[in-house]
Amino acid sequence: MELERREGRPICDCGHGEMVKDGKNPRKIVTLLGKINFERTRYRCKYCGRECYCLDKVIGLEPDRKYTLGVIERLCGQRWR
């Protein structure tokens, strides 16, 4: 999913145009500062049906990952970059 936007909406990688808002979903993550619960907007491509969460992409959260990179690095005692 490209973060390129037209009028505030993300553009799908399929190349057929902008994605539309398709509800909100909760997310729970564990950071170095503790647990965080938040909601983020889900976008869906009108053409191919692909879904994305722009907030996850912008702040570097991978799908289905519960722990931030900082927590993983702290637990493993090393840097993962």
At 23-81, the pLDDT tens digits run: 999 999 999 999 999 999 999 999 999 998 988 888 888 888 888 888 888 888 866 55
CB 12 within 8 A of CB 18: yes
At 30-40, the pLDDT tens digits run: 999 999 999 99
| CB < 8 Å & 24+ apart, contacts of 38-42 | none
d(CA 16, CA 18): 7
Enumerate the H helices of the chain as residue ranges: 54-59, 69-76
